[in-house]
Structure 1
Amino acid sequence: MRGMAGRACTAGLVIGVLVTGLTGCTGDAGGDGKTDKGRKTGKAVAKACADGTFTWSRVTQRDRLTGVSDPEQLGEGGGSLQNRMRRVYTPRPSVRADGPAPSPAEILFSLGKKTGEIDSDARTSAEAGGDTWSFTDVRFPAPGLDDGRVTPHAAGEFVQYAGVREVEADFRYTCQDGGTVTGHARSWTVDISGLTDCDERPDSALAREVARRSCA
């Protein structure tokens, strides 16, 4: 799998991403739509065209705090932090649409190309020659909170935190016959471990949120 979420460390900084499930559309082909022992009896599932094009708008990227620990006081020389982080947000890739649309993976593939998260000359993920990306997987799990613990080497009152960079945008999918479907997509790209010293001024919006939650 290409495009797996990476991890980076920073002091006072965090980053994050997103994805949701696609809603389905049905058309009434006669009958009452009831089922008989699991068999459909009067519903035809509307399908999206395969030759449409995406137009993206309101593309945003922002850092989301996913976990934060309680503060720990360390003496000269620092040392290992013992407090585990508690989860404050769970990023989930998602897609929603107001009618028949391509699969969530195709929609997120287009978003990934739009934002530069996916580097591919393929027009669709189906044409990508078997390459896959975690960015397009709506089942891709949220990163663990204690996978990359940080050890400060100085005295201070420290808070460890984790986060992701979320990417989201509105889309319009237009078929060659003029039919359109609109919706919204979200995914996350990379998770980061960070460390904040409560005695220092926060240097980012994310670090300010960490200080507000954990520092006195």
Structure 2
Amino acid sequence: MDIRPKIAGLALLAGASALSGCDSDPAPSRPGASPASSAPAIAAACDDPDIDFGPIRKREVLTEVGQRITIRSPKGGRLDSTFEPVTRYVAQVVTAGDIPRQLVYNAFLHRINPDSVSPSMGEVAHSGAGATTVHGPGRIVEFKGVYAREATFDYRCGALTVSGTVTSWTSTVTGVLDCDEKPRAGEKMATEAAALRCTD
């Protein structure tokens, strides 16, 4: 049966002007560090901060799974799936420090996906709606997910060093599986979806 995953579109990243944006969440004081002021003040003091990323972790994350639908026609049919959330995956910078998160996020995007559109910071992964058709009978489950990219980082501004983690993704995926066929080795999202919908 021809039930190959489909790659969905992504929201456009904000323009270069977003590099000057920053969050202003309060930050706890750190022993040995200068008193925290505000993110705009830090950004103004650091025309060229050092942002170092650790190894980038690549993984597949299942975000939604549809109910199992039985298709009896040998010609297949259209799926009208109702999806339930599995994992809420957010493009974000997580840190307790008072730093310009957008600057860190944009630097991360440039490293993982410099020549492609990417999700905006704060965007929640969602593959969007769309009709899916299968071309044969089976017990069919539709699922959605992302190809995630994650890393730790250190942001250095003079005597200030702030660490945290950053998460994003390179593409969203919508796929289908047949409960009567075992997912192939390495198909992590399909394997997880099958475990949720094909066990009875």
Q: TM-score over 0.5 for the alignment? A: yes
Matched position secondary structure for 2:55: strand
Deviation at 1:162, TM superposition (A): 0.8
Where do residues 149-188 of structure 1 align in structure 2 (5 Å cutoff)?
A: 149-175=131-157, 177-188=158-169
Give the partner amino acid of 1:24.
P
Cα distance 1:195–1:94, how it changes in 2: closer, same or farther (>3 A)?
same
- 1:73 paired residue among 63, 70, 79: 70
Q: Paired residue for 1:24?
A: 26
Distance of 1:22 and 1:86 partners within structure 2? 34
Q: Paired residue for 1:114?
A: 111
Unpaired runs of 5+ residues, structure 2, are 11-22, 30-35
The root-mean-square deviation of aligned C-alpha atoms, in Å, is 3.0
Give the partner amino acid of 1:45.
S
Distance of 1:161 and 1:59 partners within structure 2? 25
Structure 1 position 198 matched with structure 2 position 179: yes
Q: Paired residue for 1:11?
A: 4
Superposed CA offset, 1:152-187 (max 9, x none): 011111101111122111001223x34322111112
Q: Paired residue for 1:105?
A: 102
More helix by share: 2
Give the partner amino acid of 1:162.
K
Deviation at 1:26, TM superposition (A): 6.7
Distance of 2:93 and 2:174 partners within structure 1? 27
Conservation of the 8 A alpha-carbon contact between 1:81 and 1:150: yes
Q: Paired residue for 1:211?
A: 194
TM-score, with structure 1 as normaliser: 0.68
TM-score, with structure 2 as normaliser: 0.73
Cα distance 1:26–1:210, how it changes in 2: closer, same or farther (>3 A)?
closer
> Paired residues, what number?
172
Conservation of the 8 A alpha-carbon contact between 1:64 and 1:164: yes
Distance of 1:206 and 1:91 partners within structure 2? 14
Distance of 1:188 and 1:144 partners within structure 2? 12
Distance of 2:24 and 2:38 partners within structure 1? 14
Q: Paired residue for 2:14?
A: none
Distance of 1:14 and 1:144 partners within structure 2? 9
Distance of 2:28 and 2:198 partners within structure 1? 51
Higher RCO (C-alpha under 8 Å, 6+ residues apart): 1
Distance of 1:196 and 1:98 partners within structure 2? 41
Distance of 2:114 and 2:106 partners within structure 1? 7
Superposed CA offset, 1:7-37 (max 9, x none): xxx636999x9xxx8753377xxxxxxxxxx
Divergent runs of 4+, >4 A: 12-15
Q: Paired residue for 1:189?
A: 170
Q: Paired residue for 1:82?
A: 80
Query: What percent identity do the matched residue pairs reach?
Result: 26
